[in-house]
Structure 1
Amino acid sequence: MREFDSTEFMSDFQALIECESFSHDPEALARSARLISRIGTGLLGAAPHVIGTDSRPHLLWRFGDGPREVVLIGHHDTVWPTGTLKSFPYSAADGVVRGPGADDMKGGVLIALYAMARLRAERGSLDGVSVLITADEELGSPGSREIIENEARGAKAALVFESGAPDGSVKIARKGVAIYSLEVEGLAAHAGVEPEKGINATVEIANQVVRIAALHAPTVGTSVVPTVMHSGSTTNTVPAEAVVGIDSRAATVSEQERIDAELRSLTPSVAGAKLTLRGGINRAPLEEEMAMGLYARAQRLASTLGHPPLRSVAVGGGSDGNFTAGVGTPTLDGLGTVGGGSHARTEHALQVWIPRRVELTAALVGELLDDA
């Protein structure tokens, strides 16, 4: 068995945090991919396939010639602009690791790699395992979604290394995400001289905002929120154009589809106005039924390993686990670091949880492979 080396892990953790990887910085992403490739090659005994472009490199380790049984998924891009380290540097003190990407999700990437190194030492091979580290998750995974779905489709399990909840809970459900913009086309006219000749896009968009907000249904976990809105150009002109953004989240596929249908059925309230709905569903929900079997295994294994009781939580934000569940693959999320403050200057990861997550992941993947 490859024993967990805390010193080695922390050295890699520091190096990865200090290798900034802002989603919008191609050179930074390329440097980050090279570093992860080097670390992963050393741990797993093989270099990854580089998928995508030099400016947005996704890394894939695929072991064995047989079918994919278990897919481990993470991302190395972050929301932190290049240069953040100057004012928010890496630190590790009193068991707390801080820095940009510490919790979301550079620690999670390393947990996946170190866990597979441990499993490789135990079994002699990682046949049936894929490890995919993408470079655009913080942008909604526009370039990696197809890669993720293709890698997960038909697999026995997808394990996602986003951070766990602050108490160590893994994530068994995530709301689906849909993003829209509703555009209104009206007709301009002089607001003081002949307003009756215009078609007021502001009035139309205001009426539509009320209708959209009425779709909000928190009792079933559905949120429909009108967000950024713009209309008109000058105060003395009947507005000819207007647009409003819409953020929709739903806990179930049926609710997500219902909201999508409702938005697409909106009709103008002002005579002559025209509506155009753009956008749509980005991520299907990760529903509990897709995670419960894996969660039960992980909970039992955590107990066997002497870890604290492993709890679960449902959350509103999406991840690449939504995509894996969307293609029918059982998915367990939140297997990465335990800490908090993602996307904020309070971002941190607790060191005490790192060896537990490595040990649990290795045991879980090993059991899944044994059942193949």
Structure 2
Amino acid sequence: MEKLVSFLKEKEIEMVNVLRELVELESPSHDKELVDQVGRKISEIFARYVGGPLVVIENSGAGNIIRAEFGVGEEQILILTHMDTVWPKGTLENMPFRIEEDKVYGPGTFDMKGGIVQGLFALHALRELNVNLKRKVVMLVTPDEESGSETSRSLIEEEAKKSKYVLVLESAASKEGKLKTSRKGVGMFTIKVKGCASHAGIEPEKGVSAIDELAGVIKYLHSLTDFEKGTTLNVGVIKGGTSSNVVAAEAEAELDLRVTTNDEFDRVIPLIMNMKPSREGISIEVTGGINRPPLEKIIEVSRMFQLARELSEKYLDFRLEDQLSGGGSDGSFASQFAPTLDGLGPVGDGAHARNEYLLKSQMPVRSALVALLIAKLG
């Protein structure tokens, strides 16, 4: 165990250089050509540092998916990463890869190209030090996590079903490096209200305002928020009407729902889907559903976290903490089928923001934590 840690602590500069290779290849989720370019670079880096079977899964709906294996065994440990970012093509021109003291800036450094690098170097260390594992490791690098994992979800779930444990290399939950032992589930809904138009000055009484109805709907939806349960509802987008002198015939809203348990989804979703109009002449249509299920802190997840804490205290000289994350990840899908520990990726800040960065001094530390976990769980 000590050799794994010391081996990786000597790799900080090398890890930063590999990170530069990935960050300086842009990979916005909806640009297949650019995402595939990054995928080819990751395949090259895997061959350079890890070796072992690697399959590029052709994917016409988004970038191709990379599935790499390390070690042998009937059972497997699944590592989840993604190569796409939220940043559009051309971002590097105004937001270049750069290093300022301990901070490494650039689009996708923190979310989550740094996690990919740390995972690859963890496997590199296990290979170079000939650590024997009873379980093989399967590493998935997906192309569309930031846009909802529509094309990769089925493969993630398929691999999770075959896995004893799942490790997610998404960024840490805080600048203190907390792990994510639970995540809120996400629901996304569109509410369309139809009324009846009329001239707002001449015959206002003949109209039935969809906007007025939607205002009531929004107040009702927001009233369902329960902070004690961790349940939040937020209407973040509204539109409707045609002119200020016309009683609006149509109005629409987009709703974000977050819950901590599947039971809470079961309770709240019917309240959203079964809303009734408050008066005649109005119709309400609700579409949407669960975008990502919650990652719940079940007993097995607690045990995985406790192991990670023990390893960090014994070999890395710090005490790990954990927390709930309000955002979703591919770990949310995997957690429905296997115990899943999330937030094992970079320590830094600014995900999806122009100040996105990771701490380069923490890259070998987090990589060592992943290697230690694999060695213990495998």
User: TM (normalized to structure 2)?
Assistant: 0.92
Structure 1 segment 122-141 matched on structure 2, within 5 A: 122-123=130-131, 128-141=136-149
- Structure 1 residue 195 displacement after superposition: 3.4
Give the partner amino acid of 2:50: L
- Structure 1 residue 125 displacement after superposition: 6.9
- Structure 1 residue 48 displacement after superposition: 2.3
1:241 aligns with 2:247: no
Aligned mates of 1:160, 1:36 — CA distance in 2: 17
Partner of 1:159: 167
Counting aligned pairs with the same residue, the percent is: 38
Aligned mates of 1:94, 1:160 — CA distance in 2: 27
Aligned mates of 2:72, 2:348 — CA distance in 1: 37
Partner of 1:42: 48
Partner of 2:93: 86
Give the partner amino acid of 1:74: T
Partner of 2:118: 111
Of the structure 1 ranges 134-143 and 188-197, higher mean CA displacement relative to structure 2 is found in: 188-197
Aligned partner of residue 268 in structure 1, secondary structure: coil
Q: What is the CA deviation profile of residues 60-83 of structure 1, one whole-angstrom value per residue up to 9, with x for unaligned ones?
A: 113567544210001111111111
Partner of 2:316: 306
Structure 1 segment 251-270 matched on structure 2, within 5 A: 251-270=260-279
Aligned mates of 1:21, 1:68 — CA distance in 2: 32
Of the structure 1 ranges 77-86 and 197-206, higher mean CA displacement relative to structure 2 is found in: 197-206
Aligned length in residues? 368
Give the partner amino acid of 1:252: T
Aligned mates of 2:197, 2:361 — CA distance in 1: 63
Aligned partner of residue 313 in structure 1, secondary structure: strand
Aligned mates of 1:127, 1:219 — CA distance in 2: 40
Partner of 2:212: 203
- Structure 1 residue 126 displacement after superposition: 8.2
Q: Identify if the C-alpha distance between structure 1 residues 28 and 269 changes in structure 2 by more than 3 Å, giving closer, same or farther.
A: same
- Structure 1 residue 173 displacement after superposition: 1.2
Q: Identify if the C-alpha distance between structure 1 residues 153 and 161 changes in structure 2 by more than 3 Å, giving closer, same or farther.
A: same
- Structure 1 residue 87 displacement after superposition: 1.2
- Structure 1 residue 35 displacement after superposition: 0.6
Structure 1 segment 1-372 matched on structure 2, within 5 A: 3-4=7-8, 5-46=11-52, 48-53=54-59, 55-63=62-70, 67-121=74-128, 122-123=130-131, 128-164=136-172, 165-289=174-298, 291-325=301-335, 327-369=336-378
Q: What is the CA deviation profile of residues 154-191 of structure 1, one whole-angstrom value per residue up to 9, with x for unaligned ones?
A: 41111000111210111111111111111112222333
Aligned mates of 2:83, 2:115 — CA distance in 1: 9
Tell me if the contact between 1:95 and 1:351 (Cα under 8 Å) persists in the aligned partners.
yes
Tell me if the contact between 1:68 and 1:130 (Cα under 8 Å) persists in the aligned partners.
no
- Structure 1 residue 232 displacement after superposition: 1.1
Q: Identify if the C-alpha distance between structure 1 residues 6 and 63 changes in structure 2 by more than 3 Å, giving closer, same or farther.
A: closer
Aligned mates of 2:295, 2:256 — CA distance in 1: 17
- Structure 1 residue 291 displacement after superposition: 2.2
Q: Identify if the C-alpha distance between structure 1 residues 251 and 358 changes in structure 2 by more than 3 Å, giving closer, same or farther.
A: same
Tell me if the contact between 1:324 and 1:331 (Cα under 8 Å) persists in the aligned partners.
yes
Aligned mates of 2:242, 2:34 — CA distance in 1: 39
Aligned partner of residue 163 in structure 2, secondary structure: coil
Q: What is the CA deviation profile of residues 189-212 of structure 1, one whole-angstrom value per residue up to 9, with x for unaligned ones?
A: 333343343332112111111111
User: TM (normalized to structure 1)?
Assistant: 0.94
Give the partner amino acid of 1:132: L
Aligned partner of residue 48 in structure 2, secondary structure: helix
Q: What is the CA deviation profile of residues 300-349 of structure 1, one whole-angstrom value per residue up to 9, with x for unaligned ones?
A: 11122133111112121111111111x23111111111011111121111
Uncovered stretches (5+) of structure 2, i.e. residues with no partner: none
Aligned mates of 2:238, 2:100 — CA distance in 1: 45
Tell me if the contact between 2:28 and 2:35 (Cα under 8 Å) persists in the aligned partners.
yes
Tell me if the contact between 2:133 and 2:375 (Cα under 8 Å) persists in the aligned partners.
no
- Structure 1 residue 274 displacement after superposition: 1.2
Aligned mates of 2:15, 2:100 — CA distance in 1: 15
Q: Identify if the C-alpha distance between structure 1 residues 322 and 46 changes in structure 2 by more than 3 Å, giving closer, same or farther.
A: same
Pairwise CA RMSD of aligned residues?
A: 1.9
Give the partner amino acid of 1:213: H
Q: Identify if the C-alpha distance between structure 1 residues 18 and 47 changes in structure 2 by more than 3 Å, giving closer, same or farther.
A: farther
Uncovered stretches (5+) of structure 1, i.e. residues with no partner: none
